[in-house]
Structure 1
């Protein structure tokens, strides 16, 4: 798998350079875009890359000259590398990315999947958020942390983060760092409560005016 982050205002050459950087393909200032792209395609094929994730795709604007060239480059790479491309961005269907001739070509190669917060539960007894928490817990390397502690707190963690993967990862990472620094080597609810998250997560969870807090999409009063 390869991961490429689209730089702000990226030109086609700059974007090709990001593809090269991920696999350590040497690029010099004197190299032309064609040489960089040829090196990228060759290296990706030789490495057997089968999945390419391109993040912040909404930064591309095909209505500008540089944006149009970058979109053309992506189209060419999808044909030459022979991997599955996953484009991730914010409100991409509402941007210029899928408009015009170039946008139509890109839209014709992509299936739009709307991604929202991970639900706490699912149909058929599935527990997607709990499973996500368990997978993250398995990556922890804390000597005193007991496996299964965090999945059992899935409801609390969902309320703290609103089901957002980024907020959950940040919460557990900061809690793990704090546990290492204070020597406890385990994550507790008290430790989690002491961590301040991003504004969206905090606005979702923390008490608001009138002694209320919003958790899990519901409004509740403290002490009731």
Structure 2
């Protein structure tokens, strides 16, 4: 028998298992990063883009995937790792990463306002699109922004075809004027915005976050989740029966997996089980993405 207390938990989090129940539940609800192969590959791609020498026609990336499947978590992790503002040896302020959410519709002025606001700079919403665009270009140059990330890019599909083309042309203009790599992030529908003009599709590589298949990679993912859950007993989530059940309920969607396991862990704490059992997992089957909603309403 392993004599190390709570050896089933990552050593960084073992002390959490000693805390009172309410503190452990609070920890479970807090955001935590779980690295996996595809996520780490995308982080490396984005880091490579950020470090490219400035040149005409900087390469860009479109990151797509199902809703709640980890896209936003990845770009926030990237911003957390590489986005800190600093002052260089020439006393120049550097803001390497700007992360914004796309406007709720294809509105060029709202895009510029979001970009200016992300730098904490004042603006006049009554200014014309041209004036705001000039302010964005000037501000981003002054701040030495090295990569721009726009989340919820599929929102730019809300509008007429002309408005969509205007938005993409605005993004192309910024990329050209500031020699700036741009990462768009959204659902699979976001691919459609690249087809508003053949020039857009040639500028963007596309990376997809697929749903998880029920395979060894998925079992490794569950093993990683178990290491950050502060339960006093091991749950052996890689057991084939548990793995199959978790995959069936979550449909292989990362956000659904996280929610399911968090709820199961909280149940294990509240009941005193201190381990995620098959019965606890079955009891959370109502958390199925859409099937559960129909069951609750019906």
TM-score of the pair, normalised by structure 1:
0.63
1:197 equivalent in structure 2: 287
Q: 1:69 maps to which residue?
A: 166
- Greater relative contact order structure (CA < 8 Å, 6+ sep): 2
Aligned-pair CA distance for 1:185 = 5.1
CA offsets per residue over residues 69-101 of structure 1, 9 Å max, x none?
3222322444536446253323344x4x2334x
Structure 2 equivalent of residue 221 of structure 1: none
- What is the aligned length? 187
1:1-224 aligned at under 5 Å gives the runs 1-2=78-79, 3-19=99-115, 25-30=119-124, 32-40=132-140, 42-43=142-143, 45=145, 52=149, 54-61=150-157, 63-64=160-161, 66-79=163-176, 80=178, 82-83=180-181, 85-93=183-191, 95=192, 97-100=193-196, 103-113=197-207, 115-121=209-215, 127-140=216-229, 142-146=230-234, 149-152=236-239, 153-180=242-269, 186-195=275-284, 196-200=286-290, 202=292
Where does structure 1 lack aligned partners over 5 or more consecutive residues?
Answer: 122-126, 207-224
**Could you report, residue by residue, the CA deviation over 1:30-55 in whole angstroms, capped at 9, with x for unpaired residues?**
2734324543455463xx65x83x43
Report the RMSD for the aligned CA atoms in angstroms.
3.6
Change (3 A) 1:131 1:68: same
Contact 1:130 / 1:151 at 8 angstroms: preserved in 2? yes
Moved more, 162-171 or 63-72: 63-72
Cα–Cα, structure 1 residues 9 and 175, in superposed 2: closer, same or farther, change >3 Å?
Answer: same
8 Å CA contact 1:145–1:186 kept in 2: the answer is yes
